[in-house]
């Protein structure tokens, strides 16, 4: 185990995230088909990269992630996959480090956004009632 000292990181990303299930589309390249990110997903990855803090030292421990996503409407599914992917290389090394996550859904028609808190975990314990 690392003897680095980590602290929680909190930040807000303005804009509505693309869901991973709807973030890819199939396109034809000549006679072959391929999969590319949708325009909405590409735009969200770009704004996330601009707004997400770059930690001086990436978290190397397992982490707990708390995310509150405020959508513009009731339509989108609650999906944090793209958000977790976007934090790789900025907050933590790899999204496989996420061992606990709490995702909350809300509506804000005027200001869609995502509140994120990432907390390093010294030990990841499974709740005893499982």
Q: What is the pLDDT along the chain (130 residues), one digit of tens a residue?
A: 555 667 899 999 999 998 765 555 555 666 776 556 678 888 999 999 999 999 999 999 999 999 999 999 988 778 899 999 999 999 999 999 999 999 999 999 999 999 999 999 975 555 666 5
Predicted confidence at residue 123, as pLDDT, reads: 54
> What per-residue confidence (pLDDT) applies to 92?
97
CATH class of segment(s) 9-121: alpha beta
Whole-number Cα distances in Å, 117 to 15, 24, 30, 48, 121: 17, 27, 44, 15, 13
Domain boundaries, given as residue ranges, for the chain: 9-121
d(CA 5, CA 75): 41
Q: Which pLDDT score is estimated for 6?
A: 72
Q: Please state, as a whole number, how many other Cβ atoms lie within 10 Å of the Cβ of residue 12.
A: 13
Residue 39's pLDDT is 81
The DSSP 8-state label assigned to residue 92 in this structure reads B
């Amino acid at each position: 185990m690392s003897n680095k000292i980590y602290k929680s990181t909190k930040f807000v990303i303005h804009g509505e995230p693309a869901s991973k299930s709807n973030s890819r589309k199939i396109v034809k390249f000549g006679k072959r088909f391929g999969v590319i990110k949708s325009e909405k997903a590409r735009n969200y990855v770009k704004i996330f990269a601009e707004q997400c803090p770059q930690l001086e030292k990436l978290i190397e421990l397992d982490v707990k992630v708390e995310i509150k996503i405020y959508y513009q409407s009731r339509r989108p599914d609650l999906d944090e996959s793209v958000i977790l992917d976007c934090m790789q290389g900025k907050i933590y090394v790899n999204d496989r480090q996420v061992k606990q996550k709490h995702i909350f859904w809300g509506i804000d028609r005027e200001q869609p956004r995502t509140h994120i808190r990432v907390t390093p975990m010294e030990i990841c314990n499974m709740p005893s009632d499982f």
